[in-house]
Amino acid sequence: MRVNRRGAPGTKWHADATYGKVNGHWCSLYRAIDREGNLVDARLSPTRDMDVAQRFFAQALEVVGHAPEQVTTDGHDAYPRAIREALGEGVHHRTSHYNNNRIERDHRGIKQRYYPMRGFGSFAAAARCCSAFEELRQYCRAQVRSGAPVSLAERRRRFQERLAAVMAEPTAA
């Protein structure tokens, strides 16, 4: 299931890859979020190399519909060329371990879901789980902009409303 987030993510992205075990082997989960924490895209891959990085950024561009002004990464060797070729020459690439802490903290959500399972049994199941988790997590977010004043009661109401919509969808089909 691919959701179209056209126009929703901002123009400053944070991209990184984290690792997870699939059938006893380490795989890379590429993720990108914008400055506000909104999901740009996620992609699971058995390797972490130039080809996969290019496909990830091209897929993110296709999903969002616009290239960012700036992408912050952790300095992996494949990122500069992948960003230049997939997103264009006009995208400013910034490398910093400290400025990329936003996405490092955001990895916690999928990692907390993944750790109790001690890995996935198959690559297809892992890809489905990771993409579904990311989409559902983005859909149930109470805030669209970080720092936006939203009361706890309003957050709870929005979450319950969105969760009810998600739960009603399989029965409607």
pLDDT for residue 51: 92
Strands 12-22 and 70-73 come out as parallel
The rounded distance, in Å, linking the Cα atoms of 111 and 107 is 6
pLDDT for residue 143: 60
Tens digit of pLDDT for each residue in 102-143?
A: 776 676 667 666 666 777 778 887 887 777 777 777 776 666
pLDDT for residue 1: 41
Nearest one of 136, 112, 135, 138 to 20, comparing CA atoms: 112
Nearest one of 82, 91, 75 to 16, comparing CA atoms: 75
Task: Tell me which amino acid residue 115 is.
Answer: Y
pLDDT for residue 71: 92
Tens digit of pLDDT for each residue in 3-18?
A: 555 456 778 898 888 8
Q: Judge whether 27 and 3 are in contact, CB under 8 Å.
A: no
Task: Considering only residues 155 and 51, tell me which one the structure prediction assigns the higher pLDDT.
Answer: 51
Question: What is the pTM assigned to this prediction?
Answer: 0.74
The rounded distance, in Å, linking the Cα atoms of 163 and 148 is 21
pLDDT for residue 57: 93
The rounded distance, in Å, linking the Cα atoms of 29 and 48 is 9
72 beta partners: 14, 94
Query: Is a pLDDT exceeding 80 seen at residue 76?
Result: yes
Which of 52-56, 60-64, 92-96, 106-110 holds the top average pLDDT? 52-56
pLDDT for residue 146: 57
Burial of 77 (0-12, 13-18, 19+ CB in 10 A): exposed
The rounded distance, in Å, linking the Cα atoms of 166 and 144 is 19
DSSP-based three-state secondary structure for 95: strand
Span 41-52, mean pLDDT?
A: 88
Task: Considering only residues 32 and 129, tell me which one the structure prediction assigns the higher pLDDT.
Answer: 32
- Residue 61: count of CB within 10 angstroms of its CB: 18
